[in-house]
Chains A and B, each alone.
Chain A
């Protein structure tokens, strides 16, 4: 099944929150996940990363790759993330990635902070069914079931919204 990029990004953000990520880390995961899928990298990396929460790359990669924006061209590669996932986080930075490669335990990257990142433009994003279902299951943990109290208190409550 294929999706819009925005649908998948929203789903991944919710899945990360459902898996225990903080809101900010979830947002970064959503952006990196769409880069990951757009580049046809292994979608299972995403689930592996989510499974390590509250620790692991979803919690640590945002600060790590931001170090590249503080004029650090080399940062230490995390041991609990695939190279592909790290590349996805780097590409999700707001500025343009010129080079990104792992050598031994170091991540070498050149980020051009005078240029914005090239946006993802694709008609459809493919997600393997098993990964999609797992993401949906995690995302569903963030939804609040309705109750009588919530229904009455919600927007447009009652029967007064017709004329």
Chain B
């Protein structure tokens, strides 16, 4: 990044605007996304992926080991491919078997390690793992596309380009576990290592390596290589459901840091006084790519597809009118562009924000160092209840205005299922279990806290001793006072809360694209589409894959 003692920036967009579900649900990946950071770093190191073990039979079943040296440590992907009957294949967390399972291993696994992993990884949550395992995952085939590609290769030809473009992946992960789940290593054990301090770095490395395995697998079963441009367009699909949504609430410092970094990046590019001819050309080229990406993004759900088509139309018109050479030649042109974008839909605003950040790696890439949370919440307690009251009125004004007695404002409740110990969302008035509600009703909790505050100032210690049930609410008010982007400013138990808005926010930070919502509770996405292949990890080739498009 540019070595400047002070980098000018415009004011950041306010949390009251940014931390809304409707905007979070319209986010796009940026160059700050975790997969982009990973591939930049892999490329800067000239990392080499090797495959020391390939024990896969002619039908594609068995196991393989890939290894990569990354920032001074060796990591290995152990991949197990299983013959799964079609009637057992499901993306739901309640599945008990998968087409493939994976572990990211710390180092190079011994024969005994591989045997132990081969025994446990296919069991996933029912298996047990050690601190040598860093990430646990599983994936199912896109059966139609996988079969089509195999058949085409066996017949001596390349698969149909339309199928590759429309589906975009050979396999879908349905969970990627890290940080101590099911006995794997705690994140704290590896977070100090160069390259793994970034959020979800180990998980992103795993997904990138899994993608390569799916390419190798289909080429092996098909008996011929895939054309490079087809392989590059084949990412890893992912089915993401409710399980991911509570993360944004339970990790407020991380959420704050991700959002604050992105907003700071936008504020910096908005402060750029004049663009060079090369920067103008680059922005316009990226805008063309974005319009092509939108045109290639179609989903089966008619309502969501209509929204994508509307954004496509809106963005095309916006680019024609404003992303012109004249429009980009003035003083602080990107600030002007965003001000115009603010008159349009949140989806267009978010797409434009991502576009404007993209050409300015020198200004913003260093901010990614601030996206982690190495310390936990560094909040000081309120000294008295008046300070607490004032903070609620400042940061939770949105919650104070909601009538939580109204049925529709408390329609939903979050809970953990006994069946699979995973988060679910229920209808409070139609399903049992609301008495065991998970504490995602932050707005309601803070309102209740506010109502119990004494009119005269009192030491918070005495108040907390009298009201221990307000501990979480007090903590959240303290949190947002220190971390302004830490709180989603919407009612997460109201009927209008759409969990996929939360999923899209987090997944956009991963670097996901081609969101394909299947309901308001789960979505398919594609990761690593357009990402560099293992032999493309050079700084020249590895970092130009924002909003990938199919290259014929």
Binding site for B on A (CB under 8 A): 2-7, 14, 22-25, 27-28, 54, 59-60, 62-64, 66-67, 69-70, 94-95, 113, 116-117, 119-121, 123-124, 140-147, 149-150, 153-157, 159-163
Contact = CB atoms under 8 A, between A and B. Distances in A.
A95 to B, nearest CB: 7
Interface in B66-89: 89
Given A143-B436, A154-B521, A124 B417 contact: no
Interface stretch (B57-65, B109-117, B426-434): B426-434
B433 A119 contact: no
Contact of B472 (A22, A66, A141, A155): A22
A63 B242 CA distance: 33
Interface string B458-470: 0011001100111
A145 B181 CA distance: 22
B378 interface: yes
B179 A6 contact: yes
Nearest to B89: A162
A30 to B, nearest CB: 11
Given A94-B376, A156-B521, 4 more contacts: A63-B468, A66-B461, A149-B431, A163-B167
A160 B518 contact: yes
7 contacts: A60-B468, A120-B188, A121-B186, A123-B185, A144-B416, A155-B241, A156-B241
A162 B85 CA distance: 13
Contacts of A146: 417-419
B379 interface: yes
Contacts of B188: 5, 119-121
Contacts, number: 177
Interface string B504-519: 0000000000000011
Interface string B416-444: 11110100111100111100100100000
A129 to B, nearest CB: 15
Interface string B470-485: 1111110000000000
B475 A24 contact: yes
B461 A64 contact: yes
Contacts of A121: 186, 188-189
Contacts of B433: 144-145, 150
Contacts of A141: 436
Given A59-B468, A153-B431, A157-B519, A4 B241 contact: no
Contacts of A59: 468
B526 interface: no
A4 B131 contact: yes
Contacts of B372: none
A150 B417 contact: yes
A156 B239 contact: yes
B429 to A, nearest CB: 11
A11 to B, nearest CB: 11
A163 B471 contact: no
A66 B465 CA distance: 12
Contacts of B472: 22-24, 27
Contacts of B465: 60, 63
Given A7-B183, A94-B378, A155 B426 contact: no
A23 B471 contact: yes
Contacts of A140: 418
B143 A162 contact: yes
Interface in B108-165: 131, 140, 142-145
Nearest to A150: B431
A54 B466 CA distance: 12
A94 B373 CA distance: 12
B11 interface: no
A63 B464 contact: yes
B141 to A, nearest CB: 9
Contacts of B92: 154-156, 161
Contact of A143 (B131, B140, B416, B518): B416
Contact of B242 (A3, A4, A60, A154): A154
A117 B375 CA distance: 7
A95 B464 contact: no
Interface in B214-258: 239, 241-243
A73 B427 CA distance: 48
Q: 8 shortest A-B CB distances, which residue pairs?
A: A24-B471, A6-B180, A4-B180, A24-B472, A155-B241, A144-B433, A63-B464, A116-B375
Most buried by A among B380, B416, B464: B464
Nearest to A140: B418
Contacts of B464: 62-63, 66
A25 B474 CA distance: 11
Nearest to A21: B468
B26 interface: no
A124 B130 CA distance: 8
Nearest to B463: A63
A4 B468 contact: no
Interface string B242-279: 11000000000000000000000000000000000000
B90 interface: yes
Contacts of B425: 153-154
Contacts of B379: 94
B34 interface: no
B330 interface: no
Interface in B376-409: 376-381, 383
Nearest to B378: A94
B498 to A, nearest CB: 12
B315 interface: no
A66 to B, nearest CB: 4
A69 B424 contact: no
Contacts of B144: 163
